[in-house]
Amino acid sequence: MNTTTEVVQQGFRLSKLFWIGLGLFVVGVAPLLLIILFASLGFGDPNPNPVGPALLAVVTFWPSIGLIMTGLILSCFKWLRQSGNSTNTNAS
């Protein structure tokens, strides 16, 4: 019977803020990118005037980038803290 306890180190996981930021980025920028793509491929109007999707992209771009960066930083700190704790417990 093995009585020693082993610390199971979890891999790097991205925080919820990262995923919320990524979702906001996709929802905010995708309509404008699709309109640009369809116009360049020749579907629909060759000279579209996408005011609504452009405003949506402007309003959501920087907040989504901020959430993505904050989520990455928090995930890195959490991972470093967990990996530091697991190495300290294995050393003793």
Residue 92 located in a structural domain: no
Gap between the Cα atoms of 19 and 70, Å rounded = 11
Residue 71 has a pLDDT of 96
The pLDDT confidence band at residue 29, using thresholds 50, 70 and 90, is very high
Instruction: Give the percent of the chain with pLDDT over 70.
Output: 82
Q: At 82, is the secondary structure helix, strand, or coil?
A: helix
Could you tell me the pTM of the whole model? Answer: 0.76
Closest CA to 19 of 70, 53, 61: 70
Residue 30 located in a structural domain: yes
Report which residue type is found at 39.
Answer: A
Q: How many domains does the chain have?
A: 1
Report which residue type is found at 38.
Answer: F
Residue 66 located in a structural domain: yes
Residue 6 located in a structural domain: no
Q: How far apart are the first and last CA of the chain?
A: 21
Residue 25 located in a structural domain: yes
Domain range holding 22?
16-87
Gap between the Cα atoms of 62 and 26, Å rounded = 12
The pLDDT confidence band at residue 11, using thresholds 50, 70 and 90, is confident
Residue 7 has pLDDT above 90, yes or no: no
